[in-house]
Chain A
């Protein structure tokens, strides 16, 4: 049973009008796996992640969380099946205090306000963020904001974590700092993590496995080192972005 995928896409297709954003992609992630979802801009990465989190209903195909079909369920049902995610914004809840935002997950998972607050404070403490708990999210510096995002996910105690460009907007040294924390936490909690990221250096450090999307099609899926050496991947994607590595 330990080997059952915690999140699984089965022939997922996402279509907007006539445009196919995700073309019959199948992807299964097991506990403890860290998958990097890479591909050129417009390859359908975010659409795929959005279909996993329930924001987009797949046009066809199924999404399974812990073996349960959630393809037609609202995003909050996905959360209750153990999926947490981040968004491509600096502060998801700008005017909330840090603790209010971090305790939201446990609260909607069914805890009382007091229990949720306790779990929120514990998650903040685990990242050394006790000092900022009363601050408003919009007052945080970029690194702290990202760490609070991590605390939000820790507090929700998920099985599956989707990170949509979590590190965007950080300087290289800051990225490293956040990424180290992320590796430590996701390892100790054996999250199944799917990460969209553009910088190959970070992907190489974090991911155990890579999935490459080009024009909505999955062209490669395997251990990081193998995929990065795959000539087809290099031709389709890495060739054009390897120059980005240092940026």
Chain B
């Protein structure tokens, strides 16, 4: 019971009055930069590698989206595919009508944020379980509506020349580099948010929404904020996805598998951390992409891989790679220090 005795605060003690975790976030950001640089360098090997790397960055962004709402702020969002798909769809439809792609991207992101606002205001007040069900159904509903209006498949207009003024490049390496920049931006945003008022509220809500509210946190409002930021990240993922694939199919873009990928990427790396989604994405997406390209030609095998991975993570490995390793290292260090 020594801790309960009242002791005067010594100068030495005062010097340790530094908030924990801030240094860790910075180190994580360095690791993110390093990983992204490695991916970009590896991508220089061949155009195939560039494509794989660009997909990797796309799904890292989707993971970062899920990480912000569910890893950091708490509410279990199972329908991030909605924001991913709506942006993809908007950009393509506008493009087929000859609208400049930059404008299309902006409209796509705005549409996604508006959707997040409506869904968030309607459902984030509900207890976690009901929010999870509702969020799972959002992409399915949008899918039904889009199919109803007859957009079974939207082909991407193809132009053989690079037109940077229309965000059109034929070398996937260019998309990779831009996506990599946005992954870094999302990581920085996550880190900054984490250290500030907003991130502290998020984490309190994640740990215990009732106690957070009783401690003065406007939990509903901040859950909506988290949902909106997450929608922007998912939209960015949708933006790059729209440039890297040839056909938009609502049955694929809004499939629960897309949302599952967001979960897998984050949970394998470690939810709630800055590094987690990047680490998880860099481990998983290239593996499944390469396996699909070179090993098996069976349809839907990557879906099976993601589902099995997610099941395994949920059952046996809930912490994720980075926190597990970090904890083990910390314990070793503590043991060595005495």
What is the interface of chain A, defined by CB distance below 8 A to chain B? 53, 55, 74-76, 78-80, 84-85, 87, 89, 92-97, 99-101, 103-105, 107-109, 112-113, 117-118, 121, 125-134, 143-144, 147, 152, 156, 177, 181
Contact = CB atoms under 8 A, between A and B. Distances in A.
Interface in B1-46: 1, 3-7, 9, 13, 16-17, 19-21
B1 A143 contact: yes
A177 B207 contact: no
A75 B20 contact: no
A128 B19 contact: no
Given A100-B200, A104-B215, A93 B195 contact: no
14 contacts: A74-B213, A76-B215, A85-B214, A87-B208, A92-B207, A92-B208, A92-B211, A99-B20, A100-B204, A104-B204, A104-B216, A113-B200, A130-B9, A132-B3
Contact of B207 (A85, A93, A128, A143): A93
Considering residues B17, B214, B220, which has the most beta carbons from chain A within 10 angstroms of its beta carbon?
Answer: B214
Contacts of B215: 76, 79, 84, 104-105, 108, 152, 156
* Centre residue among B1, B13, B201, B211 by max chain A CB count within 10 A: B211
B196 interface: yes
Contacts, number: 117
Contact of A129 (B3, B16, B19, B196): B3
A87 B7 contact: no
A113 B3 CA distance: 25
B2 to A, nearest CB: 8
B70 interface: no
A105 B216 contact: yes
A67 B4 CA distance: 37
B290 to A, nearest CB: 35
Nearest to B195: A113
Nearest to B5: A128
A58 B5 CA distance: 42
A134 B20 contact: yes
Contacts of A118: 17
A138 to B, nearest CB: 10
Residue of A78, A97, A100, A117 with highest tally of chain B CB at under 10 A: A100
Nearest to A174: B1
Contact of A94 (B1, B5, B207): B207
Contact of B7 (A93, A103, A130, A132): A130
A107 B200 CA distance: 9
A93 B218 contact: no
A51 B101 CA distance: 54
B207 A79 contact: no
Contacts of A177: 1, 4
A127 B7 CA distance: 9
A80 B38 CA distance: 49
B213 A75 contact: yes
B255 to A, nearest CB: 32
B219 interface: yes
B91 to A, nearest CB: 38
Contacts of B212: 93, 104
Interface string B187-207: 000000001110011011001
B195 A87 contact: no
B9 A79 contact: no
The 7 closest A-B pairs by CB, nearest first: A108-B216, A79-B216, A92-B211, A93-B207, A128-B6, A75-B213, A134-B20
Given A97-B21, A134-B20, A76 B216 contact: yes
A209 to B, nearest CB: 24
B165 to A, nearest CB: 43
B138 to A, nearest CB: 25
Contacts of A126: 6
A76 B215 CA distance: 7
A156 B216 CA distance: 9
Contacts of A89: 208, 211
Nearest to A102: B215
Give the residue among B5, B19, B200, B217 with the most A Cβ atoms within 10 A: B19
Of the candidates A85, A93, A117, A131, the one having the most CB atoms from chain B within 10 angstroms of its own CB is A93
Contacts of A112: 197
B210 interface: yes
Contact of B214 (A87, A99, A100, A113): A87
Given A89-B211, A130-B13, 7 more contacts: A76-B214, A76-B219, A95-B207, A96-B207, A104-B217, A143-B1, A147-B3
Nearest to A130: B13
A78 B214 CA distance: 8
A113 B200 CA distance: 9
Nearest to B9: A125
Nearest to B212: A104
Contacts of A87: 208, 210-211, 214
B1 A76 contact: no
Contact of A55 (B13, B200, B208, B210): B210
Nearest to A132: B3
A113 B196 contact: yes
